[in-house]
Structure 1
């Protein structure tokens, strides 16, 4: 079984001003690391050349923090990339120094564990998700979202700005990912129970089911339901929370799997295809990436109804809520 959920090979999105801060920061660090390794320099020798600590170079290459302009400019002067690479680095640095779209207006309602996901999902060329309990946020209607958001807040917050702010954030996220001119190819897998788990009134549920049915006809969106009678839905998949694999294409950011639990999430990055030391066993984090990816593959391959059957299931749900 292939470990690529979407085997169509596509180039990554070109680096430019439309890149997100998070994506630009990661690609900047990755490019610096490749330039350093190609030049034969170690992190220690590069740090000595630009008069910074080794940890500063490490943080730059791993994108742990927002880079400092003077450090990046000094590194570029030492590594002496060609003109095209120098221009790309300048664009990436400029974007990496700007805030993310959610960091001002939506900072209070965006938990830290979501920052990386929200900063990268619009850059993906393919997204595969699995949700156990709810319609995924990217496909929620405003009324469905409002019910989910309200039930997660204290009653005292219902009359304040919190609900509207969270709704606006969710809508902006949907527009940035699915409303862009070249949206990613998306496979949305949901547990069959989502069809019957009411969120709000029958009218809210009907509108949500109609919207899912409409979205399922789009060429870049596939919706599939995990059948409750399948064995995979009764073991590992049933114990999982929300999961997603993001793929960025050839020459782009490293793919990763996002696994969300209650008020926390883990990110597992795809291992490099060319390990520095092939004799060494994969790290636990690399094993975790493969393990979570294989679970997504099993859910899709063994537990899901076909796209056609899933559309028929939506048709039945629409009738039930009418």
Structure 2
């Protein structure tokens, strides 16, 4: 995404349109647009020719850009799960791994980064009742691998608002829920996890339509990205106005939800009720 943004900046600085850049490669303007939006891999011969077209001729500058392009094209760790990972969700895992801040609202389930294996298994089985047992286990392993990012030296801040429904809905049975809530209580002690509960008593709030995530990155070239999910796929938004709507809703909800400092006590009370 960063390289695509840099290619866009170079093209605009050179005063060229999508069509003019496409003619330099003998491709359509749509191909140039997809390269800049990181919707396709960066073919090194294309990148080198575009750099020349945009007036970049210094060998060291071209070599550095091509080296970054090779790195960008390298498969991520999740590539080994491609047999069970939908294409539309691989982008989510990539964004999650690069984000400096991950904010989310979850009205149905404990967020994936905070799920215990037993809870994850119950959720995945409910969502995919006809999937083979081996596939469910692979998906649980993938979810567990994703959670490792919270233990990194430069781990992101995970700030989540969960609806009270998430904690009241019995998933996997009493023991599974007891273990899951205990794990959430432990997560609240992490310096990089902020968990808030939206209680029933708070009434309506701005995001009652469904769950979403917002990713913010350290690199200034990358815009904030919002993500929503449906039964058959996911949608990503990077337009500033769109993302601002998600951010405003989440800010209002964070003010409306119980303070993060009280979350552990709330969870402890719910655990005693199980």
TM-score, normalising length: structure 1? 0.78
2:113·2:147 contact (CA, 8 Å) conserved in 1?
A: yes
Pick the structure with more helix per residue.
2
1:263 alignment partner, SS class: coil
Unaligned 5+ residue runs, structure 1? 1-25, 272-285
The 1-side partners of 2:87 and 2:193 are apart by 28
2:258 alignment partner, SS class: coil
Distance change (3 Å), C-alpha of 1:151 and 1:56: closer
Distance change (3 Å), C-alpha of 1:227 and 1:40: same
1:239 alignment partner, SS class: coil
**Which deviates further from its counterpart, 40-49 or 260-269?**
40-49
1:244·1:257 contact (CA, 8 Å) conserved in 2?
A: yes
2:44·2:66 contact (CA, 8 Å) conserved in 1?
A: no
Distance change (3 Å), C-alpha of 1:155 and 1:71: closer
Matched, 1:239 2:237: no
The 1-side partners of 2:43 and 2:200 are apart by 51
Partner of 1:123: 98
Matched, 1:199 2:153: no
1:27·1:92 contact (CA, 8 Å) conserved in 2?
A: no
Cα distance, 1:269 vs. partner? 0.7
The 1-side partners of 2:157 and 2:196 are apart by 14
Partner of 2:227: 258
Matched, 1:267 2:236: yes
Cα distance, 1:163 vs. partner? 1.8
1:232·1:299 contact (CA, 8 Å) conserved in 2?
A: no
2:188·2:263 contact (CA, 8 Å) conserved in 1?
A: no
2:163·2:198 contact (CA, 8 Å) conserved in 1?
A: yes
The 2-side partners of 1:162 and 1:210 are apart by 27
The 1-side partners of 2:169 and 2:150 are apart by 25
Distance change (3 Å), C-alpha of 1:178 and 1:319: same
Give the root-mean-square deviation of aligned CA atoms: 2.2
TM-score, normalising length: structure 2? 0.90
The 1-side partners of 2:129 and 2:154 are apart by 38
Distance change (3 Å), C-alpha of 1:78 and 1:181: same
